[in-house]
């Protein structure tokens, strides 16, 4: 079954979420879309925050338009970093621009904002949420969450190093030996593994913990030391490969066992986030009090409520002699590479849908089925329907 017209036009709007610097497609990827049969339109200025001037797009035969209205009118497929849901305030302005049957692809934050997805469905758009991509081998090249988590894990270590009153590596100097910093990474998903690798490259002694014992080998392959905790996690992942919420009793026991490790650590980086749910509290105020003076906590779950009890969203604060960082939208701070990676994820997704020169809605393909949010005026994704009280079964999922 084919939903898209054969004209294959694609539009790249300027991102309107506050401080969002990424762009959905960079100029160097334009020829790849052109070869697939697309005519590509760009809203003027869309790439500038990431360092891509309009002239770079024009040089790749992308049609630059000045009006956002014209962009939405021209494109059959709109590709964004943040669509409505992930951009609830400024994104609302675009609802009136969306045409029935128009395809949308990007982040929509559907598990946190299901009612906004209902509103999006009212436009009769066919929307795909890249966050809902199943974590299967065939979808790895499309996995935007992993791409952005890679950047977040890397940047978290740089932020910690900038705030820490110690240097990361061990140094032998004429003034004596400088002991290496001790870094503890909680969560060995994509963000956590990148944080481990980055901290190790900077010379720190790195320890890491994850509820999934199976990731021990990955931690050790990066030079980290895996922290053992006698805990029964049960099923730590759902069938889609995302972390599952484990319950307050589990987290309470985990915090007790973690207290000793944290108290001897200079930098703690936390990565436990569950889309649609509040992040579990892993670092309590008492644990912060036990940390060495001048230590740093970087809470990558700040946007989901925080893994640290003292995290303040979007702020760097000092509590009990410890610096606590609650970063917002870290991938946007490395916008050039983030845009490059994200654009390649979208290219792979679009290429998977393309059959005989048309975008096909093959509902037997779990990539298409699981990411499809809205169609013909209705919310069709089962996970989102569950949250709205319309689904047939209960499911859970998470990030990196």
What is the full DSSP assignment across 78-109? EEEEE-TTTSTTGGGGGGGGPPTT-EEEEE--
321 has pLDDT over 60: yes
Predicted pLDDT at 392: 57
Digit-coded pLDDT (tens) for 48-69 = 999 999 999 999 999 999 999 9
Confidence of residue 228 (pLDDT cuts 50, 70, 90): confident
Nearest Cα neighbor of 396 from 224, 257, 273, 251 is: 273
Pairing between β-strand 354-355 and β-strand 9-12 as defined by DSSP bridges: unpaired
Digit-coded pLDDT (tens) for 233-286 = 555 444 554 445 556 777 777 777 888 899 999 999 999 988 888 999 999 999
2 has pLDDT over 50: no
| Residue 102 among the catalytic residues | no
Predicted pLDDT at 399: 44
As beta bridge partners, residue 399 has none
Q: For 264-268, 301-305, 357-361, which range has the lowest pLDDT when averaged over its residues?
A: 357-361
Pairing between β-strand 176-178 and β-strand 171-173 as defined by DSSP bridges: antiparallel
Let me know: does 367 contact 142? Beta carbons within 8 Å: yes
Contact partners, residue 154, CB within 8 Å, separation at least 6: 194, 195, 198, 334
Nearest Cα neighbor of 108 from 127, 89, 92 is: 127
Q: Which of 54, 76, 109, 143 is catalytic?
A: 143
Predicted pLDDT at 223: 97
Q: Give the C-alpha distances (Å, rounded to integers) separating 124 from 81, 134, 176, 376.
A: 20, 24, 68, 5
- Domains assigned to the chain: 9-132+335-387 (3.40.50.720), 150-328 (3.40.50.720)
Q: Which of 6, 7, 67, 140 is catalytic?
A: 140
User: Which residue blocks in 202-275 are alpha helix, DSSP H?
Assistant: 216-221, 248-262
Digit-coded pLDDT (tens) for 74-132 = 999 999 999 999 999 999 999 999 999 999 999 999 999 999 999 999 999 999 999 99
Predicted pLDDT at 393: 43
Nearest Cα neighbor of 105 from 191, 194, 33, 205 is: 33
Let me know: does 342 contact 135? Beta carbons within 8 Å: no
| Residue 146 among the catalytic residues | yes
Let me know: does 191 contact 400? Beta carbons within 8 Å: yes
pTM across the whole model: 0.89
- Count of residues making up the chain: 400
Contact partners, residue 99, CB within 8 Å, separation at least 6: 72, 73, 123, 125
* Cα separation, 27 vs 31, whole angstroms: 8
Backbone angles phi, psi at 138, to 5 degrees: -65, -20
- Is the C-alpha dihedral spanning 53, 56, 57, 58 positive or negative? positive
Let me know: does 141 contact 348? Beta carbons within 8 Å: yes
* Cα separation, 101 vs 72, whole angstroms: 12
Q: Which of 135, 201, 212, 369 is catalytic?
A: 135
Q: Which of 154, 209, 242, 251 is catalytic?
A: 242
Burial of 392 (0-12, 13-18, 19+ CB in 10 A): exposed
Name the DSSP letter for residue 311: -
| Residue 6 among the catalytic residues | no
| Residue 242 among the catalytic residues | yes
């Amino acid at each position: 079954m084919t939903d898209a017209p054969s004209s294959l036009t694609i539009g790249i709007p300027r991102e309107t979420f506050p401080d969002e610097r990424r762009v959905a497609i960079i100029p160097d990827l334009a020829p790849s879309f052109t070869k697939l049969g697309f005519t590509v339109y760009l809203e003027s200025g869309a790439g500038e925050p990431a360092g891509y001037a309009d002239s770079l797009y024009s040089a790749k035969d992308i049609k630059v338009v000045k009006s956002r209205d014209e962009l939405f009118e021209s494109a059959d497929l709109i590709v964004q970093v943040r669509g409505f849901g992930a951009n609830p305030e400024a994104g609302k302005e675009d609802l009136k621009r969306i045409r029935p049957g128009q395809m949308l692809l990007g982040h929509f934050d559907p598990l946190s904002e299901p009612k906004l997805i209902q509103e999006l469905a009212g436009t009769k758009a066919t929307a795909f949420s890249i966050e809902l991509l199943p974590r299967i081998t065939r979808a790895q090249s499309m996995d935007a969450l992993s791409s952005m988590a890679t950047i977040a894990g890397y940047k978290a270590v740089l932020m910690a190093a900038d705030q820490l009153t110690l240097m990361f590596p061990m140094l032998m100097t004429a003034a004596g030996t400088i002991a290496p910093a001790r870094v503890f990474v909680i969560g060995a998903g994509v963000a956590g593994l990148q944080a481990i690798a980055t901290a190790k490259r900077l010379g720190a002694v790195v320890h890491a913990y994850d509820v999934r014992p199976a990731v021990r080998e990955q931690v050790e392959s990066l030079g980290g030391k895996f922290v053992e905790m006698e805990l029964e996690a049960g099923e730590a992942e759902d069938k889609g490969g995302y972390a599952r919420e484990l319950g307050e009793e589990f987290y309470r026991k985990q915090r007790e066992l973690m207290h000793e490790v944290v108290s001897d650590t200079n930098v703690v980086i936390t990565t436990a986030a569950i889309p649609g749910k509040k992040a579990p509290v892993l670092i309590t105020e008492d644990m912060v009090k036990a940390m060495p003076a001048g230590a740093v906590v970087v809470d990558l779950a700040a946007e989901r409520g925080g893994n640290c009890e003292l995290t303040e969203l979007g702020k760097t604060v000092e509590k009990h002699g410890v610096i606590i960082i609650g970063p917002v939208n870290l991938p946007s701070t490395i916008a050039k590479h983030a845009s490059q990676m994200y654009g390649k994820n979208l290219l792979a997704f679009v290429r998977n849908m393309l059959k005989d020169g048309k975008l096909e809605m093959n509902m037997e393909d779990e990539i298409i089925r699981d990411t499809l949010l809205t169609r013909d005026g209705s919310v069709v994704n089962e996970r989102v329907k569950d949250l709205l009280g319309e689904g047939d079964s209960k499911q859970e999922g998470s990030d990196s």
